Amino acid sequence: MPVITLLLGDNSFEISRALGDIESGFDGVAEKVDAESVSLAQLPDLLQGGTLFADKRLVIIRYLSENKDVWDIFGDWLYRVHDDVSLVLVETKIDKRTKTYKDIKKLADIREFKNWGDRDIFIAEKWVADEAKKQGLDLEKKHVNQLVARVGLDQWQLYYSLQKLAALDDVDSEVINEVIEENPAENVFNLFDAALRSDVRKIHSMINILQRSQDPYLTFGLLSGQVYQLAALSAGDKSSTDIAGDLGVHPYGLSKLAPHAKKMARSDMRKIVTFFVDADMNMKLTSVDPWLLIETALVQTAQL
């Protein structure tokens, strides 16, 4: 029986690793094919048995579903794959209603790899801890949490960050802050923190920096998320860890908001929500510079 594998999903890191494992387990050189270069006439050569140079073949085809002419009839060809061929299909998205996918489902080992979302923080932290050990890096739990909060849930960025840290003699919170670049969400937290600390000068300075490279609407969305989390902390009696679980957000970020929530009157919290609701409406209904609207909402918050 031929070995047919479908690697499916938007998590390019895990797919790259899975491909690496398959290739390292194959005694030979993999044949890698892009969908654009595949024609109907080439299918017999791709899926036939051994060649003059090798008895076994590993054929990897990327994004074949984008080549509609071949994809529509490829399901029929799956039944003709030679026993000496290991076929690997790599797809980001696939229409599971198509006949070809249904044929693949009958014959192939399908492995799905999805990017992590906001509710996968604990999965990300466990992965970072395990990956750190593989790289010879012994990270304390608080440093694992700090790294995930600082970098975000992009596995490539987390992997490269661990490589940077693994090259150092000692790793602590200060080293992580110095060596690892913070992601936009961390920048936004610092911006919102400046407003909560009534540091108007820092607000102006950070807005000037962020508007050179960041999208204002993404920044506002992240800020609105901070407002929502602060409101949840202010209104509830649960710990920041429990609320993080309810909201599906990182407890590290909530723990930094918690001191502000404890000191904040509910009337002030309602005003902050109003400032950001007004900014949101003005972004949608007016042509005012969105960065000006963001800064206005933050300064209003700082002046409470």
- The pLDDT of residue 150 is 83
CA dihedral (143, 146, 151, 156) in degrees, to 10, reads: 30
**Helical residues (DSSP H) of the chain, grouped into ranges:** 12-24, 43-47, 68-78, 99-107, 121-134, 141-151, 155-166, 173-179, 184-196, 200-210, 216-235, 240-247, 251-263, 266-285, 290-302
Model pLDDT, residue 58 = 92
pLDDT reported for residue 255:
74
Share the mean pLDDT of the chain: 88
| Tens-place pLDDT, residues 245-299 | 677 666 666 777 888 888 888 899 999 999 999 999 999 999 999 999 999 999 9
**Helices 200-210 and 184-196, axial angle in degrees (round to 10):** 160
What CA–CA distance (Å, rounded) separates 212 from 92? 32
State both tokens at 29: 């050189």
- Tell me which fold the domain 3-112 belongs to: Rossmann fold (3.40.50)
What pLDDT, in 10s, does the model give residues 13-28? 999 999 999 999 998 8
Any idea which of 16-20, 32-36, 116-120, 224-228 has the lowest mean pLDDT? Answer: 116-120
| Residue type at 136 in one-letter notation | G
Express as a percent the part of the chain with pLDDT over 90: 53
What fold is seen in the domain 184-302?
Answer: Zinc Finger, Delta Prime; domain 3 (1.20.272)
Report how far residue 155's alpha carbon sits from residue 130's, in angstroms, rounded to the nearest whole number: 13
Sorted by where each begins, the domain ranges of the chain are 3-112, 118-179, 184-302
